[in-house]
Each structure stands twice: as structure tokens, then as C-alpha cells.
Amino acid sequence: MADGTDFVFRPIVPHRPPELLRLLPYLWNSWRDPLTVYTERHYAEPYIYVRGKIGVVMNLADPAGLRRVLVDNAKNYEKGDFSRRILGPLVADGVFMTEDEVWRRQRRILAPLFTPAKLSTLAQAMQAVCDQRIAAWPVEKGASSVVEIDPEMTKITFEIISDTMFSNLLGGEAGDFEKAFDGFVETTGRLDPFDILAVPLWVPRLTKLGGGGRYAAFFERRVNQMVAERRALIAGGSAPQDLLTALLGARDSEGGGALSDREVCANVLTFILAGHETTARALGWTLHLLARTPWYQEKVRAEALAQDLTDPGWQSKMPWSRAVFDEAMRLFPPAPTTLRFAREEDELCGRPIPPGSLIGISPFIIHRHKLLWDDPEAFRPERFLPGEREKIDRFAYIPFGQGPRICIGATFAIQEALIALGSLMRAFEFQPAELAEPMPTHRITLRAKDGIRLKVVSRA
């Protein structure tokens, strides 16, 4: 058909080896890009179970197994030292990484800040940031330009977090944080073979001699400064009511005391990083997919033109926009893998799980799994339209995780993403700028290897 609706877009993916890799190529590929470790079998079998030199490693895609790890027996599966070694210098004491009672207390303290009612009060601020950022885009009225999409998405989501959670304390610093985070993911944030092999921590990691510590030091310095400044404002009675003030004044409703300074700083950084990087990457991939499928782009634009994006209840009136965003996160989940370690013996899919076993839960695999999806590689937002969405297994689509550790910011992220997407669609048309497609790569989040460049045409 002329509108392209009989054309199905299947974005490119890294090469998938047919068979499981041997130890050395496995270690090398894990460092280079964990996506290249996954074989054709990962996308076709309910799980891949390997008992080798590093104990049991199980990559799980089976919904019943996922339910057991993430919900029914979640207390037996911890995030573990491995993830702490990658993210540890930044956020070890925050709600993302802590466990048991320490985690529960932090989650209880933070939860009231993320209720739907609270979040709907942030819509105006989100819209204002989008309008401001879009006005500054390097595209003349009535003309077009090729734009590097990722940094622009980062600026939008960073400014939204800064504005809504930290009273714009970090306004204008998106570039500094982006540079430091990019440096961090290329050094400390990569999977060192010694970490996979559980070599003791005193043995130097050759892959991490590139100075990852200096990026962690940048974050620590900036966050400590924010906290000290805010304490002074609280003492003077003139502090704004935002996440930072809430963290500093928090008292656990179940009797626990205030958060320690380390906990406050770790959570501030957790929310700065977790709160902007993932949504920015999701938006970048969404625009890439829409640039290749103008007929879906038109549907999202039509909805955006018909709605005030800050009106309560507007999201339910934009089924295509929501479906496009959800389908983009299916194909390109911003958090492509999460890990769990068994504390005690268990059984998953009939296989023994000794203590210490590593369970890999990869939305990147699960969302493209042949047993769970029809034509999994195709970009087909219709799957998420009302009437179809209800047929999707709760454990086949987990961009925000599941169970008690599910993303606390999921509703925040969807709300800001739809406001940003709608605002962008009103202002611009997006077209591919080059024949080659961006290649996904796993660097803590799911990034485009050489960035995403699009031709952006002004609608004005």
C-alpha cells in the first residue's frame, strides 16, 4: 500500500552466534558488548543453563521461572556483589542496590513521591522543559537539519529530573553529567573478565585502568555539594519541597530513623542517573523507529495535535503514542539485562539452582523471544493497542522489571516520555539521515553504538 502499512520494519541487531561461546570468547565478548554473547538458542529456548567453571549461570526467559525469581521467591534472589562492582562506586547505598530491611526502609520513604496523584502535578513542569528545549533545537523554522538525537534526548530528560525532583539545582549541567556518565560506562561500567570469574577484588582490573574513578569522584563531589547547600537552606527555613528536601527530612513511617548522609547522597545520584539516562535512550530509539515508519509517526502526531498533553487522563486518549513507546521499549529495552544471585538452593524450570548461581534476566532476549512473541523482530505497535495489550504475558514484557524491585519511576518515565514525544511530533518531522541503522550496544543501558542521527524537518 502507498502508506507503507504492508511494509514491516525489522531493525538490525548484533550478529547472533549459533552456539554457546567457549569461556575465552565469552569473556572477551562480555567486555566488548554483552549483547554479542547471546546466541540464536537464547532467543528460541525457555532458558539456557550452564554449569561451568564459574558455577551455574542460567539465562531465563520462561515466564513461570521469571515469576519465581522476581515475585514468588524474590527474597531468595539478590542483586549481589557483581552488580555492585559495576555500579557500586556510585549508588551502592541507594534504593537501586541495597537489599532486605535497608532497601525496604528506603523504598517506603520514597514511595509517596511517586504516586499517580503526585506525578500528575509534574506534567506542567515536564511540558515547560520540553517546550524550552525544543525551541533551542538547531533547526531553523521551515528548514531541516541533521541532528544528533541522543544528546538532545539526554538534555530533555536531565532537565526534567533536575526541575521536578531537585528544583532545577542542576539546570544546565546535562552536558557535564553526560560526559562523566559516558566516561563511567566505558570504564568501570564494563564487564571485566576478572569480575565474571569472581577473582578477588585486590587483583587489579586491567580493563578499568582507564580512570573510571575520576568519573565516580565527579558525581560524588557534585552530590555532596548539593546536599550541603540544601541542608543550609533547610536550617534557614527556605528549602523548596522536592525530592532532595524529602530525602533529608525523611522519617520512616514504620519507626526507622532518618537516612544517613551516605544513603541520601547515593539516592540523589540514583535518581539523577536512573531518572534520566533510561528515558533518554528509550526516546532516542522511539524516534529512530518512527523515522523509519512515517505511517506510525503520523498517528502519533495526530494524537499529539488533538490533546493538551498536561490534561489529567490524556494518556488514555493517546493509544497509538503509548503503543509506539511500549513497542520501542520492547525492541530496545533501556535496561537490557538485570542480574540476580541465588542465596539458597532453589529449582527453576526443573533445574537445580545451588546457592551463588547467577540468573541473567535480559529483557533484550525476553522481548524478542520466539516462544513469547509473534514475529518478534518486527516493529509492530499494534501489539500494544487496547484489546491486544491484554493478551501479553506479564512476564514476557518487563522493561521496568517486575515484583518488589520493579522500577519506582515507571509512571514518571511514561508520563514524561509521552509529553516529550508529543511535543517533538508537533514541532518536527523525523526522517532517516543515512542508510545505515544505529546498532544497539549494551553499556549499562542500551545505547546506539555510534549514536542516532536523524534528519529533522521543521513543521513551522
Residues binding ligand HEM (CB under 6 A) = 79, 95-96, 107, 270-271, 274-275, 278-279, 282, 334-335, 338, 399-401, 405, 407-409, 412-413
Minimum CB separation of residue 154 from ligand HEM in Å reads 13
Q: How far is residue 329's CA from residue 336's CA, in Å, rounded to a whole number?
A: 10
Q: How far is residue 257's CA from residue 250's CA, in Å, rounded to a whole number?
A: 8
Minimum CB separation of residue 3 from ligand HEM in Å reads 29
* Nearest residue (CB) to ligand HEM, 334 versus 440: 334
User: Which residue from 261, 399, 387, 392 is spatially nearest to 325, judged by alpha carbons?
Assistant: 399
Minimum CB separation of residue 310 from ligand HEM in Å reads 18
Minimum CB separation of residue 417 from ligand HEM in Å reads 6
Minimum CB separation of residue 277 from ligand HEM in Å reads 8
* Nearest residue (CB) to ligand HEM, 337 versus 429: 337
End-to-end CA distance of the chain: 29
Minimum CB separation of residue 284 from ligand HEM in Å reads 11
Q: How far is residue 166's CA from residue 245's CA, in Å, rounded to a whole number?
A: 8
Minimum CB separation of residue 110 from ligand HEM in Å reads 7
Minimum CB separation of residue 60 from ligand HEM in Å reads 13
235 and 62 in contact (C-beta within 8 Å)? no
Question: φ and ψ at 427, to 5 degrees?
Answer: -85, -30
Longest alpha-carbon distance in the chain: 66
* Nearest residue (CB) to ligand HEM, 369 versus 433: 369
DSSP-assigned beta bridge partners for residue 352: 347
* Nearest residue (CB) to ligand HEM, 89 versus 275: 275
* Nearest residue (CB) to ligand HEM, 299 versus 405: 405
Got the DSSP string for 230-271? HHHHHHTT---SSHHHHHHH---TTS--PPPHHHHHHHHHHH
CA distances from 457 to 366, 429, 431, 444, 448 (A): 35, 5, 8, 32, 22
Q: Which residue is nearest to ligand HEM (CB)?
A: 409
* Nearest residue (CB) to ligand HEM, 83 versus 307: 83
441 and 434 in contact (C-beta within 8 Å)? no
Pull the grid cell for residue 152: 538532545
* Nearest residue (CB) to ligand HEM, 86 versus 454: 86
* Nearest residue (CB) to ligand HEM, 87 versus 139: 87
Q: How far is residue 50's CA from residue 55's CA, in Å, rounded to a whole number?
A: 8
